[in-house]
Structure 1
Amino acid sequence: MKIIILGAGQVGVTLAENLASENNDITVVDIDVNRLRELQDKLDLRVIQGQGSYPRILREAGAQNADMLIAVTNSDEINMMACQVAYSLFNTPNRIARIRSTEYIFETAKLFQPEVIPVDYLISPEQLVINYIYQLIEYPGALQVINFADKKISIVAVNAYYGGPLVGNALSSLPERMPHINTRVAAIFRQDRPIRPQGSTIIEANDEVFFVAASQHIRAVISELQRLEKPYKRIMIVGGGNIGAGLALKLEKNYYVKLIERNKNRATELTEMLNNTIVYYGNASDQELLAQEQVEQVDVFIAVTNDDEDNIMSAMLAKKMGAKKAMVLIQRSAYVDLVQGGVIDIVISPQQVTISALLGHVRKADIVSVFSLRRGVAEAIEAIAHGDESTSKVVGRKIKDIKLPSGTVIGAIARGDEVIIANNNAVIQQGDHIVMFITHKKFVPDVERLFQPSPFFL
């Protein structure tokens, strides 16, 4: 696939890294020649220096022959105009734009239409992060929650801890522990290495366990596997930008929310914007302020400012002072592995959340949803099975007879309103939505080929 990426910022670079390794023809456009030079030194791709919305630059990038344009510069206006130019002058068939301003997002239905601003898919990183954090709060104890098949199926990651109900038990004992709930462990990561789950596999402390179940059973499964934490009530948010404000707005109806903002004018704006959130003007790294606001009673401390170091330090201080759980937004990918699983409980990478939303629109075959897991190492995919026994490598076959790529596990099948937790004898039917876990993303192209029906396959 020939793809043009506009913007060599963190999202653009992460996307290029994901796609360049999958035999795509990638061209990256940016105004910063140094960024482009660094990118070209690392990856096998083409780079062009210039303004991504200019017709001349898009022509040089090959927009007239491109399959897709992905505009992820730091400017909403440039992203929108690039899609308009690609549509009007070059008839580029697929156009994706990152839009961050709520001023545009509020008017999505009217603005982003072929006859107005021709953006096929609009991506808002801030809203994606807000939804991601909200789900973690809704499911106490989960490290990650991912929905598939119109929210019928969920994959959830939990951490196995000393003394917990998971540790020391074989996976074959799960049906005995939950006789009325069908679930399956899709993957286990032990010391950052994937382990293929089998009935005899024994869970060890600190294993990261991914299980799949019908969404309606997720709470019950977490409760059984990890002693479900008590529902959160008290939330403290640090940072009143788009993410912090949007998260507070979403949470304040059902939770007791406090928000700390270090900019006085912004704190005043937030006081008028939010109805049931208590807004404080101050520095979240101020021990006296945290003590005064009884941080030791906080169930979840969430740091989402634009400064990674401030987020990390304030969260570590809050945990030291008694906050039960800390979630931190981190932009720099190098920090994620350093911080995750230590004092700080959950690290959120906006790049990985954004990439997950983008990949589903880039994948070949009928890939409906893609979620990047384990900081981009693994993926969870939802694919639709097409064809029949003569044209498809999966339709009409039992799971045990399908030649799945290495490290790939079929976790569940959505068939209409029915959710089928996968077993070796389950037969794939035309139109089934298949949810798979892939422990290493290098095998993603093999999965795509598996689900592409061919008139020549017998």
Structure 2
Amino acid sequence: MKILILGAGQVGSSVAAALSVEDQNDITVVDRDLTRLRELTEKLDIRTVTGHASLPSVLEQAGLDEAELLVAVTSSDEVNIIACQIAAQRQDPPTRVARLREQEYLALARQGLGGEPAVTAAISPEELVCRHVERLIATPGALQVLDFAGGRAQLVAVRALRGGALVGHEIRELRHHLPQGMDVRVAAIFRGGKAIKPEGITVIEAGDEVFFLAPHGAIKAMMGELRSADNRSTKRIFISGGGGIGRRLAKSLERRYSVKILERSRDRARTIAEDLIGTIVLVGDCADEDLLREENIDQTDVYCALTNDDEANILSAMLAKRLGCPRVVALINRASYAELVEGSTIDIAISPQSVTLSALLSHIREGAPERVYSLRRGAAEAIEVVVRGDRRTSRVIGRELDELDLPHSATIGGIVRGDALMIAHHDVVIEPGDHVILFVNDKRDLPAVIDLFKEVDWL
């Protein structure tokens, strides 16, 4: 597939890296920053073009006429929309995916400026991060909560703690701990940063990062098996940063929780206060220890540091933790920072790039998986594939899971059939319309996994 990526920032570079491992992809990246492009070509086998991504001459030089997919992820919404609009006017327009921050642009992009809509799919980072944080707040103790099949199944990441009932025991003992009829599948385990393929005899150790697949109703019971009991409910949320993400999150949460939001700019705080109904809006510095004490941070259930400054988020989250807040979340753009602090003083480090990348991959993966999630900062992926076709046109329909020719790094966590989640036992037979949820530990195996589930016309 010929792919044209506009923007060599963190998201553009991540998309290029994720797609370049697939040999059939021919990738060109456009950016005005020559240094960024040189760094990319040193790491990846791609072509680069230096120039302004919305200029027709630059797009032509980059091979727009031959491109099958255009991914517009520059830092400018306007550039992304214009580039997609130019591509839409081509005789054979490519699929066009754009990252857009402004809500008004999202509607404009979908409507187009006459004729073909400017974009095929629009991604809003603020909206994605907001939903991601909401799921984490609703699932205390979770490091990541991912929805599949319209929410009928969830993949949850949790750190196993000493004192958890299943810690120190084999995975196959899990069924004896859960209520009768409740089926849960451990899809992956990371220990010391390295992946361990889960088997029945695998022993879960304290500190393991465990990914398990379960229906929504089984999440709480499973987390109780991996962590010591904590019956504290979430009622009070404190948000630092009144930017797009913080403001949107407060508005979404204020009807269900007691919410406070702290903003440094007095003018912005006044605007936020006019927009929010039940949220207390404060003016001040998120690293002000006296202010956090006065606002009873020790009685807050979740502290979310969501400013646009990584260092401020890290310091304020660490301070909130030291002052007694049981759970702190920090928005961190730099991957090296996130890996350094997560799991220590800071409970969860959220990478906007990783969240955005997951949404982009769902739209641009060849083979069109329904969902693609980037895990462990891009080291692995979880995908949802809808099985289409019949026995004549599918390599998987009518076969038991044990019969599938999956790469060693791929694990099937479960199958959603109708409204029910079926845990992936070896003798389950795949049927048309099944939503198959897989965990792929080595991204180099993704093309083989997706190819296995493609509908073909020659079998």
Q: Which position in structure 2 is the counterpart of 1:236?
A: 238
Q: How does 1:6-405 map to 2 (within 5 A)?
A: 6-23=6-23, 24-89=25-90, 91-105=92-106, 107=107, 111=111, 115=115, 117-178=117-178, 179-226=180-227, 227=229, 229-405=231-407
SS of residue paired to 2:384: strand
- In structure 2, relative to structure 1, the CA distance for the partners of 1:229 and 1:117 (3 Å cut) is farther
Please give the per-residue CA displacement for 1:369-389, whole angstroms capped at 9, x wherever unaligned.
Answer: 100011110110001223334
- In structure 2, relative to structure 1, the CA distance for the partners of 1:110 and 1:407 (3 Å cut) is closer
- Normalised by the size of structure 2, how large is the TM-score? 0.96
**Structure 1 residue 110, shift from structure 2 partner:** 6.6
Contact in 2 for aligned 1:141/1:228 (Cα 8 Å): no
Distance 2:217 2:448 in 1: 31
Distance 2:410 2:380 in 1: 10
Q: Which runs of 5+ in 2 are unaligned?
A: none
Please give the per-residue CA displacement for 1:284-339, whole angstroms capped at 9, x wherever unaligned.
Answer: 11111111111111111110111100100111111111111110000111111111
Deviates more, 1:219-228 or 1:340-349: 219-228
Distance 1:13 1:20 in 2: 10
| Number of residue equivalences | 456
SS of residue paired to 1:74: coil
Q: CA RMSD in A?
A: 1.7
- In structure 2, relative to structure 1, the CA distance for the partners of 1:313 and 1:338 (3 Å cut) is same
- In structure 2, relative to structure 1, the CA distance for the partners of 1:184 and 1:393 (3 Å cut) is same
- In structure 2, relative to structure 1, the CA distance for the partners of 1:17 and 1:360 (3 Å cut) is same
Contact in 1 for aligned 2:98/2:119 (Cα 8 Å): yes
Contact in 2 for aligned 1:80/1:117 (Cα 8 Å): no
Distance 2:378 2:30 in 1: 23
The residue type equivalent to 1:444 in the other structure is L
Contact in 1 for aligned 2:241/2:261 (Cα 8 Å): yes
Please give the per-residue CA displacement for 1:318-366, whole angstroms capped at 9, x wherever unaligned.
Answer: 1111111110000111111111111000010000000000111122224
Q: Which position in structure 1 is the counterpart of 2:439?
A: 437
Q: Percent identity?
A: 48
Contact in 1 for aligned 2:287/2:316 (Cα 8 Å): yes
**Structure 1 residue 181, shift from structure 2 partner:** 0.6
Structure 1 ranges of 4+ moved more than 4 A: none
Deviates more, 1:396-405 or 1:124-133: 396-405
- In structure 2, relative to structure 1, the CA distance for the partners of 1:381 and 1:113 (3 Å cut) is farther
Q: Which runs of 5+ in 1 are unaligned?
A: none
- In structure 2, relative to structure 1, the CA distance for the partners of 1:26 and 1:205 (3 Å cut) is same
- In structure 2, relative to structure 1, the CA distance for the partners of 1:424 and 1:112 (3 Å cut) is farther
The residue type equivalent to 1:187 in the other structure is A
- Normalised by the size of structure 1, how large is the TM-score? 0.96
Contact in 2 for aligned 1:189/1:195 (Cα 8 Å): yes
Distance 1:205 1:407 in 2: 23
Contact in 2 for aligned 1:415/1:432 (Cα 8 Å): yes
Distance 1:245 1:41 in 2: 39
Distance 2:377 2:113 in 1: 34
Please give the per-residue CA displacement for 1:51-77, whole angstroms capped at 9, x wherever unaligned.
Answer: 111111111111111111011111111
